[in-house]
Amino acid sequence: MKFAKYIFMSLMLIMLFGCNDTNEKEESINNSVSVNSSKTEEKEPPVNVDKKVIQNIDWEVSGTFNSGSYVMSGIPEKVGFIDAPFIKNSGQKYMWHFWGDIPDGELTVLAIKKGSNEIVPALIVPSIEDERYVWTYNSPAGPNNGADAHLPSNLKLNEKGKWALLVYLGDKYFDNIVVEVS
């Protein structure tokens, strides 16, 4: 119940403050990149997406590394989550871990499929009735599993193939993790 309260409060703040800069967001996403918000109640991601970030994605699936007693997918000493397979249309819990100079702010994850120009939300809020997609979760908490900060989340991708998960903390792009969805 406490978790749902934080999610609700976060969504309300995003809606309240996110309405003021719609034109800036539209300008930052050029014609070659579109946003699909049909899966979420939030119309636009709460971050500005620089087209150079998308152009510079290395589409090799991100490697794994050990941290604490876990195997992580991602970038060693920067960002990763406890390694678990991504299965088409199957939501699953992923524990994010962050190292180093971590910007303040909530976690936003944008997903883009290789060969597509469409940005979609990947985070979900699971529920018994019907899960819903969101752009943003809470801010990371303290150290865990050898990382400087961590945050549990639920992710779901709806098509097979390679996907880049663009990770933002606050309004700052942090990095991306490429995953294979089977």
Q: How far apart are CA 110 and CA 102, in angstroms?
A: 18
Cα separation, 71 vs 73, whole angstroms = 7
Cβ distance 36 to 119 under 8 Å?
A: yes
Q: Band of the pLDDT at 182, cuts 50, 70, 90?
A: very high
Cα–Cα distance for residue pair 142/146, rounded to 1 Å: 11
109 closest CA partner among 173, 51, 64: 173
**Domains of the chain (ranges, CATH numbers):** 2-181 (2.60.40.3830)
- The predicted model scores a pTM of 0.78
- Tens of pLDDT along 133-172? 999 999 999 999 999 999 999 999 999 999 999 999 999 9
Give the residue-averaged pLDDT of 85-105: 96
Q: Which two tokens stand for residue 54?
A: 């998308």
> Which phi and psi (to 5°) does residue 112 adopt?
-140, 130
Q: Give the whole-angstrom CA distance, residue 5 versus residue 162.
A: 33
